[in-house]
Structure 1
Amino acid sequence: MRPIAVVGPTASGKSALGIALAHELGGEVVNVDSMQLYKGMDIGTAKLPEEEREGIPHHLLDIWNVTKTASVAQYQTLAVETVEDIMARGKVPVLVGGSMLYVQSLIDAWSFPPTDPKVRARYEARLGEIGVDALHAELAQVDPEAARIIEDKDPRRTVRALEVIELTGKPFKASQPPKHAAPRWGTRILGLRTQAEWLNPRIELRTRLMFEQGLIEETRGLLDQGLVRDSTAGRAIGYAQVLAMFDGELTEEEAIEQTITGTRRYVRRQRSWFNRDPRTLWLDAAGADVAGAALDSLA
């Protein structure tokens, strides 16, 4: 009943492999994609519609409103409960997603560092004064390693890192779990390895299909549910570009091109993150029988 995690870059085929493994092993899928947690964010996150889940139960989809700030700690609590319930029922949890921190929070024993609203508010005020680029530069001065792993356009994580550093007196990395310890529950980690010449056309095709299938209309509908640009959901790749288009900053073609570029940039971060974990068994995403290779590796 040990869980199986399917990780890797965006558009590498994780969802299809997860369903195939669930069929073969008597499993249920647990979502580990941070943006698929949001209700109504379907097209832009490539969330599988109900009819494409092939009768396999999927957990932790559509649980948050778009106004909610993402919380890895809250996700971890819900996901641990979900995984243990699936195992208690004699099923195999198949963890599917590419959100790096969410994956690590679930398969590693990660105790989250303290928080202090006053300290965070001070850094948020500083963010408002000088902007995310300058605040990220300040983070780089006190903790270069944290600045390296946190994207320079990510205000929330930049603020959080500075908060943790001040409260603990230690580098941000020190609050993370020991690297390469035994995964929680003995989880077996399968990674989909990709090459740019194979993946980049898939990213472009998928992005253009998202816009053709109604990403603009979906985003417009989410405005009525409270979606704004300065939010976790509003910064998601694809939605951020459409919101910029609504504000007259981009044309539709520019929004498409920036979504493709942003996705490729995110893929580079995913590759770098997952490649550092020696516990991962890598499979060729472009292989003729990925599911068969995965099952053979688990035998």
Structure 2
Amino acid sequence: MKKAVFITGPTSSGKSELAVYLAKKFNGEVINADSRQVYKFLDYGSGKVTSKEMKGINHHLFSIASPKKNYFLARWLKDAYKALNKIIKKRKLPIFCGGTILYLKALKEGWILPSVKPDYRLRRKLEKLSKEELIEKIKEINPSALENIDLNNKRRLIRRLEIIRQLGKIEPIKKNPQVNLLILAISLPWEELEKRIKERLEKRIPFIIKEIKKLRKIGLSFKRIISFGLEYEWFGKFVLGEISLKEATEGCLKETRKFAKKQIRELKKINEVTWIKEKIEAEEKIDRFLLT
């Protein structure tokens, strides 16, 4: 089975920096595993690694999709396997990097997902509903379809309803693991992580606001921008004039802290995750992994 490393952890924990460091150390290339960083023009708000921070290491699946259209899990899996095979052919180590736990689970377990084309008419109808209303709709049709889905992600709830409408129901996910993954999650004291979240956001605020205005200029509605969540939601509302800059900053910080806690909780449920505190620990784990 093909081998790969997956660097994960809560937001602002230093995943991108560690992935680049390890790629240099082990002759690797980085594959994005963050559901917002796949989109073009979502740079500062998504915390995307810059070309300078890449330090000459090849990075895959960053800025590959239009923000006007949804990029779903099935497409990410297809693109991820393609990137992984390309890297292995070069006799290099694939290093996945990101905090989207759904991507991690799907890759680890080898999910085989149904091919369902977008139903734009249905989407327009469902967009008018709240997250709670979407959840109730799914419960009415197929309650088990709420498993393995982020209930706070409106786009994924809509996609789930789209699949149910076309297939009649959600079948249990078929699995065919194709990758032997070493999963390394960065562990930081909560006080340090909180500090990093705050500092990282404060540095990016002017750029996030500028980015949101640019997204409007290229034709994205405020509704679409806000759907990307966290920074885009709170500072989108500020640009729209609905809230003050202080309210946007405080709201975003609060939601980001909640999101980080959720990421940690979800990762702790995955038995194969190895928590690391130092770079040297990651190096030692990878050394052993590549020898077995």
Does the pair score TM above 0.5? yes
Counterpart code for 1:207: L
- Which residue of the partner structure matches residue 287 of structure 1? none
Aligned residues: 286
Structure 1 CA distance for aligned equivalents of residues 246 and 105 of structure 2: 35
TM-aligned CA deviation for residue 115 of structure 1: 3.1
2:288 matched to 1:295? Answer: no
The CA deviation string for residues 109-135 of structure 1, in whole angstroms up to 9 with x for no partner, is 1111353666x855763563x533222
Deviation at 1:160, TM superposition (A): 2.8
Alignment of 1:187-202 (within 5 A): 187-202=181-196
Correspondence for 1:266 among 259, 270, 281: 259
1:269 offset after TM fit, Å?
A: 2.4
Secondary structure of the 1:3 match is: strand
Q: CA offsets per residue over residues 239-261 of structure 1, 9 Å max, x none?
A: 12121112211111111111112
Query: What is residue 216 of structure 1 aligned with on the other side?
Result: 209
1:54 alignment counterpart? 55
CA distance in 1 between partners of 2:225 and 2:109 (Å): 24
Which amino acid is the alignment partner of residue 110 of structure 1?
W
Give the corresponding residue for 2:93. 92
Contact 1:123–1:162 at 8 Å: present in 2 too? no
Distance 1:116 1:223, change over 3 A: closer
C-alpha RMSD of the superposition: 2.6
Normalising by structure 2, report the TM-score: 0.86
Q: Secondary structure at the match of 1:29?
A: strand
The SS at the match of 1:6 is strand
In the other structure, the counterpart of 2:250 is 257
Match of 2:272 in 1: 279
Q: Is the 8 A contact 2:231 2:252 kept in 1?
A: yes
Q: Which runs of 5+ in 2 are unaligned?
A: none
Counting aligned pairs with the same residue, the percent is 28
Runs of 5+ unmatched residues, structure 1: 285-289
For 1:294, the aligned partner's letter is A
| Residue 146 of structure 1, CA deviation | 5.2
SS at 2:36 equivalent: helix
User: How do 1:41-80 and structure 2 match up within 5 A?
Assistant: 41-80=42-81
Give the match for residue 154 of structure 1.
153
TM-score (norm 1): 0.84
Q: 1:145: how far off?
A: 6.2
* Deviation readout 1:215-252 (Å, 9 max, x if unpaired): 11121112112222333774232012121112211111
The structure 1 segments of at least 4 consecutive aligned residues displaced by more than 6 Å after TM superposition are none
In structure 1, what residue type is equivalent to 2:157? T
**Structure 2 partner of 1:20:** 21
Deviation at 1:152, TM superposition (A): 4.4
- Residue number in structure 2 paired with 1:134: 133
User: Contact 2:8–2:184 (CA<8 Å) still a contact in 1?
Assistant: yes
**Partner of residue 29, structure 1:** 30
Q: Choose 132-141 or 31-40, whichever is displaced more.
A: 132-141
**Cα deviation per residue 1:8-39 (whole Å; 9 max; x = unaligned)?**
11111111110111011000111111111122
Q: 1:231 to 1:101 in 2, by over 3 A?
A: farther
Closer, same or farther: CA 230–291 of 1 in aligned 2, 3 Å = same
Q: Report how far residue 188 of structure 1 moved.
A: 1.2
